Structure 1
Amino acid sequence: MSKGETSMDQAHGGEALQVLTFDLHGETFALEAGVVREVLDLAPETAVPGAAPFVAAVINFRGRVIPLADLRVAFDLERSAPTADSRIVVIEHELDGEPTLVGLRADKVHEVTTIDPAETEEAPRVGLRWRTDFIRGLARRRGDVIVVPDLHQIFETRGGARGAVVHLNQS
C-alpha cells in the first residue's frame, strides 16, 4: 500500500464508496450499500442456546430464519435496550464461499451517502479502543468520523459465529 492509501482505496480503485450510515452506542458506522438488502423495524428474536454471543439470536426474514449479529459484541461496546429508532440491517455477506443473509442490529439508521477516498484513512495502531483489524478504514465527513468495519475479519474472528451462521442457513 502506498503512503496515504487505505485498504478502502485499494478495494475500490480510489472511487467514491456508497455506504449506509448507522449508529451503534453513539458511534457512526458505515456498510457498503451494495451488501445491504433491507432495513427492518425490530422483529421478534429467538435466542439460540449455546450460540456465540456475537450471533446469539435469529429472526424471521421473509419466511427465512437468518442469524442476528451484534456488532456491539465485536467492538466490545456496551449493550443497550432497543429504542424507537433501533433497526435491523439485513446484509448479504459471503461466508465459506456462500452468500449468506445476516441481520445486524443498529441503534439508528441514517442514510445512504458517499465516502470520498480522499477523506479516508487507516485506523491508528494506538489510541483506538477497538481492534484495528476489525476496521477497514475511518472516514471524515462534516467533522464526524465514520467507522467502516471489516465484516469479513469480524465474522472470521468472533469464535463460533461463522459456524453458527452457516449452520442456520443450511436448515
Structure 2
Amino acid sequence: MQVLTFSLEGSTFGLPTSVVGEVIRMPSLTGLPGAPMGLLGLMNLRGRMLPVVDPRFWLHIESENPLKHVVVVVGEGESMGLAVEQVDSIIETAVHEDVPDMVDERLKPLISGYFQTERGFVFVWHSHGPYFLWDLMHQAGEMLS
C-alpha cells in the first residue's frame, strides 16, 4: 500500500494515497461564526471552498506547533482539508490491518492498521478517517448548542 505520512505533535500517521488529492502549504482561511470546534475555516482551492479541520482538537493534542500543510482528502463527491504540522513522505509498505491495544480509544475509530519504521509505529487512518473527524465535530457542535 502507498501511504502519505504526516506528523502531529511528534506522532506519525498515514493516509492511503488513494484518498489524497494533493498537499499544499497552509493557505489563508476564512473563519465561520458558530463553526464546530476543530474546524479551522474554509479555504479557496481553485474556486472551490473546502473545510479545513484540525485533527488535534479531537485527538486532544495540545500543541503550539504550527499547522504548516493541508492534505486535501478526496472522498466520493466531496473533499476536505486535513491540517497537519508536517508532511513527511510517501511510503510503499505492507500495512498490518488491525489496531494495536496501545492505541488510545479516541484514535481507534480512525485507524485501519499500522506499520513500523526505524522511528517507531505509524498508524494508518481509514480512508474515511478525516470524514469521521468532520462528523464528530458536527456532533460536538450540536451537543454544545
Q: Same fold (TM over 0.5)?
A: yes
TM-score, with structure 1 as normaliser: 0.70
* 1:92 CA displacement: 0.4
Pairing of 1:109-120 with structure 2 (within 5 A): 109-117=87-95, 120=96
Pairing 1:88–2:70 present = yes
Tell me the TM-score normalised to structure 2 length.
0.81
Q: CA RMSD in A?
A: 2.1
Contact kept, 8 Å, 1:54 with 1:158, in 2: the verdict is no
Structure 1 residue 68 and structure 2 residue 52: aligned? Answer: yes
The residue aligned with 2:81 is 103
The structure with more radius of gyration: 1
Deviations 1:72-120 (A, max 9, x none): 123221143426xx211111023xxxx2111111111111111213xx2
- Work out whether 1:134 is the aligned partner of 2:118: no
Percent identity over the alignment? 29
Partner of 2:138: 160
Write the distance in 1 (CA, Å) between the matches of 2:53 and 2:127: 11
Paired residue for 2:12?
28
